[in-house]
Amino acid sequence: MDGAPVTVAVVASRTEADLIVGMLASNGVGAAVSADDAGGQEPQLQLDGVRVMVAPADESVARQLLAEAAEASQAAEASEADDSSE
């Protein structure tokens, strides 16, 4: 990563952060997980969340990808809710 890494997401678990890192990587964006949890051995220490970090040059692309993923997730949830109300 060039320059100081930039946090683009803070999530509740290392698992969720790893999924985000994978999604970003599949779109050509290098990302890393940062958590104060003793290397994953003490997940109860993740009280402040788990950060997903990218290079400053990748920040805008990463944020766009995260926004698109959030929109797709909300649309899927809305569709499921519509299906269950019928």
Q: What pLDDT digit, counting tens, does each position of 21-68 carry? A: 999 999 999 999 988 756 656 666 556 789 999 999 999 999 999 999
- Could you say which DSSP state residue 13 is in? -
- Please, which pLDDT band fits residue 86 given cuts at 50, 70 and 90? low
pTM of the model: 0.78
Report the pLDDT value the prediction gives residue 69, as an integer from 0 to 100. Answer: 93
Report the pLDDT value the prediction gives residue 16, as an integer from 0 to 100. Answer: 94
Contact 3, 56 (CB under 8 A): yes
Delineate the domains of the chain, giving CATH numbers in brackets.
6-84 (3.30.70)
Report the pLDDT value the prediction gives residue 79, as an integer from 0 to 100. Answer: 74
Contact 36, 51 (CB under 8 A): no
* Token reading at 86: 């019928």
Q: Where are the alpha helices (DSSP H) in the chain?
A: 14-26, 59-84
Q: Could you tell me the CA-to-CA distances from 46 to 14, 23, 38 in Å, in that order?
A: 8, 22, 9
